[in-house]
A and B are shown apart, each in its own frame.
Chain A
Amino acid sequence: MKICEVFIGSLITVIAQLYIWFRLSNKKIGDLSSKVYLFLVLLAIVMTINYLYINKFFRIIIIVGCMILFVYKVLKRPIKNSIIMVLYSELLAVISEVIFISAISYIGNYDINSLEKYSFGKLLTNVVIAVLSIIIFNIVDKIKFLQDKVSIISNYPKRKLILISILYIFIVNFFIMQSYYKITLGFLLILNAFNIVIFTFIIIQIMNEYSNNVAIKNKYDILMSKSIDYENIIDSQRMENHENKNDLYVLKTMIPSSNKEAHEQLDLMINEYENREIEYQQNKDLYQKTLRIPSGGLRGLFYQKLLYIENNNIEYSLRVSKNINKDSLNDLDKYERRNLCKIIGVYLDNAIQEVEKIDNKKIRIDLKLDKKVFQISISNSLGKILEIEKINDKGYSTKGKKHGYGLSLVNDILKESKKITSETSITGSIFKQTVKIKI
């Protein structure tokens, strides 16, 4: 009799959970195939066995695991969605249980354990909790603030989400055990120590996020100052190299031909300068292309990045309109110029990192000056899933761990700047960032 009661109670619980999962998957209960009904009954059987025969310390873990497997394999949802859906429905069940028990205990002045001693008391409890879960789900579904929180969780990388879910299930299990079952002091101390470790881990992660953010800001500050130095180095080295070589030729003519050692030494030095010239020659095209880009850090930045692009077999094109020269941004103050370089640095890095992972490696850069507005556009081919509204959020990235801070840095700069604006557009498979500077 008890087995029947528990089985029916489990079936009702599973049906309620199934309703919530189906609503989250945009499917109707009527869309169920016979295979799903079969596995539904199987899940209810597993829950019954779990309740009656399995050690109380492992019940929640086992049933959550079985539910995730059911949603993943039978309902054919992606693993990430399966985890979120099951944890969500279980959380609703826990909240419903708390509400029911509070109502029974404080308002009705009953003890929940006494209630379950009555015939069908357990079944009644399950029915009430199932109905409450569905009601709470429908209320939460209407509240946008809470909807947004669910979608934020779904953006987490898969591995992180699985790890957090496992920790979450263990914590919930231990807290519930403490509430429902008598635990020895020693075991309680162990449980609480475990919980302290988890909370410490969470705090460290928060601090880690903060330091990543600071690191990216420093990176682009250094990049800016290096870019200015680099511009000066490119120009002066070319000139120096040529002059030094000429000086050596002159010196060679002044030394008697009988001094073979001196001539050999000079030949070696001239050879070295000629090798450097070959290297400059190879980069001559790039040097010529970037010659008209405004100086003050921007030219050096483009030169560096384009050199990297060329060396990594990324197809690119650079267009600098005819009315632009190296003095075009002279009216921009130092502070805004630094900000501009940081923004362009981030956009170029992102474009490069995005195309490096895909087969279609293409980047296009346009510089245009039109009626006192200087415009820089950086386009790249897209490969990944793109979530546009998350692009400027800290930590969001399609590039994996320890990325996602550059664009949030750009966002912070744009908020403060009075002269620089940025636009994002997606046309087909091309992602484009356009920076406009008022001069």
Chain B
Amino acid sequence: MLNFIVCDDKKKIVDDVTKTINKVMIGNKYAYKIHKFYEYDNEFMKIVNSKMAAKIYILDIETPKKSGIDVARKIRTKDINSTIIFLTSHQELGEVLLQEEVMFLSFINKFNNSKTRLKKAIQKSIQFAGKRNAIRFQCHGAVFTIPTSDILYITRDSVERKCIIKTDYTEFKLIKPLSEMIELLGPDFAYSHRACIVNLKRIHLIDKHHRIIVFDNGNKLDLVSSKYVKEMISSK
């Protein structure tokens, strides 16, 4: 079941959002429930802390008592897979890096074509609901949260004795075994070699003859073992 959690200090906005959700959900098969709040109070935080499945938050960026961004950060400390949509009264020009840090889906201006944009955001969030959208783990006192869609592959370098997570933007090197990493990742990941795990969603093609994988961003990987090729192709 999908759980929509809506919070805005203005009742009209909450009602409008509820109507939009109902319109979107009529057309699909999922059961859903809408939880309405007018402030980020204790009742709201109870929902955040609860182990409810498939949460989709639609939050006001600022209420009289609290900042929606701070609330979103608190949500992320508990739950990295729920979807967050912000409602705002003005363009958030100053919120540099916020999207990547809090991993929200979008900002929606309440007064500028909000219904259409909200509808699209809700439709998109339904696709992500219940899936493992990011992995979180600790290594040497630092907390890593990496969206799974950003990961191309994870390999092990025996010279440096490290696990290397290769993403679109950075390589993370950490001392963790591959077996621990595969447990964190969902069914979208599989071994291509005993020393390499690949993101099947990011594979563009598998060259069985030369044993090379080409990813959708052009990166290539030659850590491919004939033992794992069939499994990869069938999983893909």
Contacts and interface: CB of A to CB of B under 8 A. Distances in A.
A154 B173 CA distance: 12
Contacts of A148: 161
Nearest to B168: A429
A23 interface: yes
A340 to B, nearest CB: 19
B159 A425 contact: no
Contacts of A315: 96
A432 B101 contact: yes
A126 interface: no
A427 B98 CA distance: 10
A150 B159 contact: yes
Contacts of B193: 26
Interface stretch (A34-42, A51-59, A361-369): A361-369
A386 B97 contact: no
B117 interface: no
B142 interface: yes
B150 interface: yes
A57 to B, nearest CB: 30
A389 interface: yes
B150 A428 contact: yes
Contact of B174 (A364, A379, A389): A389
Interface string A395-433: 000000000000000000000000000011111111010
B167 interface: yes
Interface in B28-67: 67
Given A26-B156, A26-B194, A382-B170, A150 B161 contact: yes
Contact of B98 (A31, A363, A364): A364
B96 A362 contact: yes
A381 interface: yes
Contacts, number: 122
B66 to A, nearest CB: 10
A105 interface: no
B70 interface: yes
Contact of A381 (B97, B140, B158, B173): B97
Interface residues of B, number: 41
Interface string B88-123: 000000111110110100000000000000000000
A383 B139 CA distance: 20
B132 interface: no
Contacts of A321: 67
Contacts of B145: 425-428
Interface residues of A, number: 45
A333 interface: no
B173 A387 contact: yes
A69 B147 CA distance: 39
Contacts of A76: 222
Interface string B167-202: 101111111000000000000000001110000000
B150 to A, nearest CB: 6
A226 interface: no
A208 interface: no
A229 to B, nearest CB: 30
Interface of A: 23-26, 31, 76, 81, 84-85, 147-148, 150-151, 154-155, 315-317, 319, 321, 362-364, 368, 379-389, 391, 423-430, 432
Interface of B: 67, 70, 94-98, 100-101, 103, 139-147, 150, 156-162, 167, 169-175, 193-195, 222-223, 225
Given A31-B225, A424-B143, 14 more contacts: A24-B158, A26-B193, A81-B157, A150-B161, A151-B162, A364-B101, A387-B174, A389-B175, A425-B142, A426-B142, A427-B144, A428-B103, A428-B147, A430-B97
